[in-house]
Amino acid sequence: MNGRINEIWVYLSASPLLGLTLTLLAYQAAVLVNKRCHGHPLANPVLIAVSALVMLLWATGTAYRTYFDGAQFVHFLLGPATVALAIPLYAQLGRLKRMAGPLLVALLAGSLTAAGSAVLIGSLLGASDATLFSLAPKSVTTPIAMGIAERLGGLPSLTAVLVILTGIIGAVGAQGLYALVKCEDPAVRGFALGVASHGIGTARAFQISETTGAFAALAMGLNGLLTATLLPWLMPPLIRWLGVH
């Protein structure tokens, strides 16, 4: 009997079905927990689902590769979901046109602050080169950030993790910061969160309101474009100036 169960486990644990099912189960459980906590930002669904899955994979001695064979079907949807962000964005077309100038200036300020402050603080506290290069694109959405990190000489998979942590930190801290800087405009709130915390910030922003979400999506898209363009030029001189090499 035990041998039979073992055989079934060996078979199933190597099939993509298990990783995919576990991802969906963990996420839905995390959403339930989040609801139970009345949507408290610390009960972030990504944070809960990721922690639960990591513990489960460790406990069962399953390799990340094996898990990802199944989970990649969910991961793949990031592409079409990114394209779909054009739709809430379009709904804000009127506001976008009126605010185009201020939005672009704020974007430039936010984008440079996001990369510059992370590298500066990391370097002051003694982070290694590879970690600094992986930290630089942390505020950009995962697929873009991984591409940037690779170009810079960082570790794309480490960047994916740092990006997600950044998203969670922004999503958790946003409400407190809005209060701190006395920011009430839903468009400003969304834009700031989208620049700093990409898709996870955007998901959080959509919980706040449709307008906040749309501006977060806009900021995320624009920051992805800008950071991907600027960082490969700006990082080498910054690293030289910091004397890391």
Partner 1 sequence: MLGAITLLLLFQLAGEAIALFFALPVPGPVIGMGLLFATLALRAGPSLDLRNTAQNLLQHLSLLFVPAGVGVMLHIQRMADEWLPIVVALVASTFITIAVTALVLRALHVHQEDPS
User: Is the separation of the CB atoms in 97 and 213 below 8 Å?
Assistant: no
Among 7-15, 35-43, 178-186, 235-243, which window interacts with partner 1 (CB under 8 A)?
178-186
Smallest gap from Cβ 4 to partner 1, in A, equals 29
Pick from 41, 66, 149, 197 the residue near partner 1 by CB under 8 A: 197
Among 1-9, 10-18, 147-155, 236-244, which window interacts with partner 1 (CB under 8 A)?
147-155
Please say which residue, 18 or 166, places its beta carbon nearer to partner 1: 166
Our finding on whether 72 is near partner 1 (CB under 8 A) is: yes
Our finding on whether 41 is near partner 1 (CB under 8 A) is: no
User: Is the separation of the CB atoms in 135 and 119 below 8 Å?
Assistant: yes
Pick from 18, 41, 53, 208 the residue near partner 1 by CB under 8 A: 53
Please say which residue, 4 or 65, places its beta carbon nearer to partner 1: 65
Smallest gap from Cβ 245 to partner 1, in A, equals 17
Our finding on whether 18 is near partner 1 (CB under 8 A) is: no
Our finding on whether 57 is near partner 1 (CB under 8 A) is: yes
Q: Cβ contacts of residue 211 below 8 Å, gap of 6+?
A: 92, 95, 186, 187, 190
Our finding on whether 181 is near partner 1 (CB under 8 A) is: yes
Pick from 66, 88, 133, 149 the residue near partner 1 by CB under 8 A: 88
